[in-house]
Amino acid sequence: MGLASQLEELGLPWVERQLRHPTVAGIARGDLDDAVFRSWLEQDYLFLLDYVRVFSRLAWQAPSAHLGDLVDLAHATFHEELSLHRGLSSEFGADLDGARKGAPCAAYTEFLLDSAAGYGEGLAALYPCMWGYSTLGARLAVDPPSEPRYRRWVDTYADPGFAELTRRIAQMIDEAAPDPGRAETLFLEGMRHELAFWDVPL
């Protein structure tokens, strides 16, 4: 079993906790209060801007074989994932340009940007977001919400293309071979941030 697979096993209980979180459960049912999702949308927009910076910082350190992978990930995040947020913003009345980071968002982005100072460790730290959302998307797509706005959100993260990007990160983690104990610590810290991120400021 590769290191990425070991990290995923550690992360599964945290995914289950996310699925039980009221915000995620509301998305799954399609009845989440608009104000809650609007706040999440604004916070995640700010998070993803820094996530692009994390990919860029790691790309600077990457071996040549994976430079393109990280550039692709930064591009997909900036142009595709953020496009979803921009599209949903008008439907939920979100103010993406005027939003300010809440405590969970600020703590998470600081953690990721600091972790990206090292290549292998940075990959382990960011994996909870990629793998976590891909896993959530797949789970929620089994019985997707009928509400079209939330269905679009689920479809984005259940998309096979997103799963493929996640597998590319897993491959990079295994090839980078960071210290397993340190990788597990950073991965679990990332999973804790993922769960806390659903407690959006209102």
Residue 93 has pLDDT above 90, yes or no: yes
The C-alpha R_g of the chain, in whole angstroms, comes to 16
Return the residue matching tokens 């292998």: 120
| CA angle in degrees (0–180, nearest 5) for 184-132-46 | 105
Find the helix packing angle between 119-141 and 180-197, rounded to 10°. 50
Check: CB of residue 73 under 8 Å from CB of residue 48.
Answer: no
CB 169 within 8 A of CB 125: no
Kindly give the residue spans of alpha helices, DSSP state H, lying in 77-159.
82-92, 103-115, 119-141, 148-158
Predicted pLDDT of residue 12: 97
Q: Assess whether pLDDT exceeds 90 at residue 5.
A: yes
Residue 136 binned pLDDT confidence (cut-offs 50, 70, 90): very high
Closest CA to 189 of 130, 135, 132, 108: 108
Task: Give backbone dihedrals phi and psi of 38, rounded to 5 degrees, phi first.
Answer: -60, -45
pLDDT of residue 8: 98
Tell if the pTM clears 0.75, that is, is over it.
yes
Model pLDDT for residues 19-45, shown as the tens digit of each residue: 999 999 999 999 999 999 999 999 999
Instruction: Please write the tens of the pLDDT for every residue from 58-73.
Output: 999 999 999 999 998 9
Q: Write down the pLDDT at residue 98.
A: 95
Q: Which residues contact 17 (CB under 8 A, 6 or more apart)?
A: 195
Query: DSSP of 10-63, one letter per residue?
Result: HHHHHHHHHHHSHHHHHHHHT---HHHHHHHHHHHHHHHHHHHHHHHHHHHHS-
| Alpha-carbon span 148 to 121, nearest angstrom | 38
